[in-house]
Amino acid sequence: MLIHSSSQLLTLAGGPQRGRTLGTLGVIEKGAVVVRDEKIIAVGTTDELKNAYPDEPAIDAGGCVMMPGFVDPHTHLIWAGDRANEFEMKMSGMEYLDILAAGGGIISTVKATRTASIETLIAQTRPRILRMFSHGTTTAEAKTGYGLQTATELRLLKALLALDDESPLDLSITFLGAHAIAPEFKDNPQGYTDEVVNTMLPMLKEWWQANAPRLPLPFVDVFCETGAFNLEQSRQVLNKAKELDFPLKIHADEFDNLGGASLAAELGAASADHLVRTSDADILALGKSDTVAVALPCTPFGLAEKDYTPAKKLIEANAILALATDCNPGTSCNESMQFAIALACRYMKLTPAQAIAAATINSAHAIRRADTIGSIEVGKQADMLILSVTDYRQIGYRYGTNLVKQVIKRGMVYSVDIGYYRSA
Ligand code: NIG
Ligand code: FE
């Protein structure tokens, strides 16, 4: 299949973009791509590839921008129920951490999730995946974490594996048993930490090897935060996970600076995420490491807070910056990477080119898949978007509506732009 006549083909070629290299789009004017068997086999100008592949079945991109599919490297995709009532409470002046301390927040979703069957969980998560996909996300990370007890956490993993199988979007799964202190351990956070370390993680390893033997091990993540896991407890969780060969992630500095980002860098975690209250020392540690700094601008927006990830400082420190939605029922009920980009431009002062790179090649690196996705290069998986714009700077500039026209996932073409049809 030859997809030709884009206005601009954004290749994002050349690997993850560290520090000031962020925003290298690798634009080919009037670019084209040849795809066979799920993979990209040629990239060039429309003239070049039409000459080289005269008999290839063709799709006309119609003078639109083509780019790699978005990679969303931080979502809490699977839960039951919703928290619209808490949104109303927050808008009436209550604080997120106070709602959590009062047994609401994450814990209220945990209650709804524990009582939901696997069928219910799958049925409630499926439309979120389809919204993500139709907004251009071709691969998403997905965390457990609304179970906080072995049986429910395993049910979430099972549901995520089934959803990964059935949907066109690829999922990268993360175990977040350390998302909050389980209600049974309300007054004994160390007791729950010990439960995660001594029981859940070893069981996870066994379960994964029996149930998903062909997949690499999932990430293990921890919410390092006041009211959740302190720095020492976060270290205990991640140390044990590392000992068991799990790749690592961390939630750090969403509300308070506890030092989680430096811990992530020290342990070689794939990413440290949120990073709103991150200290200068933590920023320097990230800049010297291969740990991707994942900013989640939909979260301060969702919480109506004024502070965002200090992207400029991270870039100056030579960090690898990525963007994600943080899709979850509490702080960021949103599936669109386009919206994350629009916010990152305005509140983190990224240019559209920087935000696009952070949402593709760098976010692929945050889930350690930059060797197969995140850019349009020969040999990579054919995950691409045709957008209904002619210039890449429209991405970020425009917001609140969907710019995706077609999603190409593993070489299959899905039309998204339904337009408006009046029946005869
Ligand atoms: O990334 N910080 C922890 N986890 C989510 C919030 C989860 C929730 O409120 O349900 C986050 O913001
Ligand atoms: Fe999160």
Looking up residue 88, the CATH number of its domain turns out to be 3.20.20.140
Tell me, using a 6 A CB cutoff, whether residue 308 lines ligand 1.
Answer: no
**Average pLDDT rounded to a whole number, residues 277-306:** 97
Residue 8 has pLDDT above 90, yes or no: yes
Same domain, 220 and 308: yes
Of 323, 349, 366, which marks where a domain is finished?
A: 366
How many folded domains does the chain comprise? 2
C-alpha closest to that of 217 among 251, 175, 250 = 175
Centre of ligand 2 from the C-alpha of residue 65, in Å? 31
What is the reported pLDDT for 213?
96
Centre of ligand 1 from the C-alpha of residue 400, in Å? 23
**Average pLDDT rounded to a whole number, residues 48-70:** 98
Centre of ligand 1 from the C-alpha of residue 254, in Å? 9
- Residues whose CB falls within 8 Å of the CB of residue 284, separated by 6 or more in sequence, listed in order: 317
- The residue to mutate among 90, 328, 333, 334, having the most atoms of ligand 1 within 8 angstroms of its beta carbon, is 328
**Average pLDDT rounded to a whole number, residues 236-251:** 98
Centre of ligand 2 from the C-alpha of residue 134, in Å? 22
Tell me, using a 6 A CB cutoff, whether residue 172 lines ligand 1.
Answer: no
With beta carbons less than 8 A apart as the criterion, state whether 143 and 174 touch: yes
Q: Which atom of ligand 1 is nearest to the CA of 326?
A: 1
Residue 250 has pLDDT above 80, yes or no: yes
**Average pLDDT rounded to a whole number, residues 67-87:** 97
- Residues whose CB falls within 8 Å of the CB of residue 206, separated by 6 or more in sequence, listed in order: none
The b-or-e profile of 369-380 (16+ CB within 10 A means b, else e) is: bbeebbbbbeeb
3-state secondary structure of 108: helix
What is the reported pLDDT for 103?
80
Same domain, 136 and 185: yes
Residue 171 has pLDDT above 60, yes or no: yes
- The CA distances from residue 49 to 43, 56, 304, 375, in Å, are 8, 10, 48, 19
What is the reported pLDDT for 198?
98
- The residue to mutate among 74, 75, 76, having the most atoms of ligand 1 within 8 angstroms of its beta carbon, is 76
Centre of ligand 2 from the C-alpha of residue 299, in Å? 9
- The residue to mutate among 74, 77, 87, 106, having the most atoms of ligand 1 within 8 angstroms of its beta carbon, is 106
Q: What average pLDDT is seen over the chain?
A: 96
Tokens for 269, please give them: 């975690």
Tell me, using a 6 A CB cutoff, whether residue 74 lines ligand 1.
Answer: no
Same domain, 269 and 141: yes
Task: List, in sequence order, every residue forming a beta bridge with 27; answer none if it has no partner.
Answer: 10
User: For residue 70, what is the enclosing H or E element?
Assistant: strand 70-72
Same domain, 379 and 412: yes
* Predicted confidence band of residue 100 (pLDDT cuts 50, 70, 90): confident
Angle ∠(227,228,229) on CA atoms, nearest 5: 125
* Predicted confidence band of residue 216 (pLDDT cuts 50, 70, 90): very high
Residue ranges making up the domain that contains 385:
2-69+375-423
Minimal-distance CA residue to ligand 1 atom 8 = 330
Same domain, 395 and 293: no
User: What ligand is nearest to the CA atom of residue 221?
Assistant: 2
In the structure, ligand 2 is a single-atom ion and the residues with CB under 5 Å from it are 326
Same domain, 311 and 205: yes
With beta carbons less than 8 A apart as the criterion, state whether 358 and 350 touch: yes
Same domain, 284 and 362: yes
Same domain, 6 and 123: no
Residue 424 has pLDDT above 60, yes or no: no
- Residues whose CB falls within 8 Å of the CB of residue 361, separated by 6 or more in sequence, listed in order: 12, 15, 16, 17, 68, 370, 374, 375
The answer to whether the predicted template modeling score (pTM) of the entire model surpasses 0.85 is yes
Same domain, 108 and 168: yes
Q: How far apart are the first and last CA of the chain?
A: 34
What is the reported pLDDT for 323?
99
What is the reported pLDDT for 420?
66
Bigger pLDDT: 125 vs 102: 125
- Residues whose CB falls within 8 Å of the CB of residue 67, separated by 6 or more in sequence, listed in order: 9, 10, 12, 356, 360, 376, 384, 385, 387, 392, 395
Same domain, 255 and 309: yes
User: What ligand is nearest to the CA atom of residue 73?
Assistant: 2
What is the reported pLDDT for 55?
97
Q: Which atom of ligand 1 is nearest to the CA of 225?
A: 2
Residue 422 has pLDDT above 70, yes or no: no
Residue 371 has pLDDT above 70, yes or no: yes
Tokens for 207, please give them: 């379960």
Tell me, using a 6 A CB cutoff, whether residue 105 lines ligand 1.
Answer: yes
Same domain, 95 and 174: yes
Q: Which atom of ligand 1 is nearest to the CA of 273?
A: 1
Of 366, 392, 413, which marks where a domain is finished?
A: 366
- Residue 380: give its domain's CATH number: 2.30.40.10
Angle ∠(272,74,250) on CA atoms, nearest 5: 30
Same domain, 89 and 227: yes
Q: Which atom of ligand 1 is nearest to the CA of 100?
A: 9
* Predicted confidence band of residue 423 (pLDDT cuts 50, 70, 90): low
